[in-house]
Amino acid sequence: MTSRPVSIPSQLHLRERAQALLEAKGASLTSAKDPSQALRVLFDLASSPDTAPDALALLHELQVHQVELDLQNEELQRSRAELEAAWAYQLQWHDASPSAQLVLDESGRLMECNAGALKSLNQDIQQVLGKRLDSWLLAADVSGVQAWLSRAGQSAEPLSLQLKVQGQGQALHGVCAAARANPMAPGVLVAWVDEPSAS
């Protein structure tokens, strides 16, 4: 499982988007092409006795609005930092799990997995993504496992099964597996732990 960084648009990018939206709605931007020009127009209005009260009221509203935007930006940045910390914690927790954990799509192809699954299969993430679970099973077990996954895909409760899994360059080893329907997307969640070795 890999984390994907969240991108927050820069202030310049947000300004460009805002101007594009105004232009799309037919608003006229001809009077002020940049912030300094807009401030100059406002200053000129404030200098005239006829328009000074309205210009000062407008300036006050703009200042209040700017402070509101700054506060919202601070809150967004704080929320982003909290979300990134929570995501990093969940990712570490998921990868530190003592069980192999896999997310399969409806056809049984592996969409995500944790470090325990990669270790159990003796492969890296690029080698396993998109492969079917039966890639690591004995041919004789494939139909039984497919039936188990099909039943598990309809069940909110985990269904257990003993499997024989063979990772890359490894001997076949037994695992105690459980699967259930993925509550967040079509497909199945699978977890397993190695069977205790007989000694």
pLDDT tens-digit readout, 82-102: 999 999 998 898 888 999 999
pLDDT category of residue 24 using cuts at 50, 70 and 90: confident
How many C-beta atoms lie closer than 10 Å to residue 159's C-beta? 17
Pick one of 3.30.1300.10, 3.30.450.20, 3.90.550.10, 3.30.230.10 as the CATH number of 99-194.
Answer: 3.30.450.20
Q: How far apart are CA 37 and CA 32, in angstroms?
A: 5
Nearest to 103 by CA among 161, 166, 190, 42: 190
Q: What is the pTM of this model?
A: 0.63
Model pLDDT for residues 120-136, shown as the tens digit of each residue: 999 999 999 999 999 99
pLDDT category of residue 14 using cuts at 50, 70 and 90: low
Instruction: Return the pLDDT at 2.
Output: 44
Instruction: Return the pLDDT at 38.
Output: 73
Domain locations in the chain as residue ranges:
11-95, 99-194
The answer to whether 153 touches 161, Cβ cutoff 8 Å, is no
Instruction: Return the pLDDT at 1.
Output: 45
H helix or E strand, kind and range, residue 180: strand 173-181
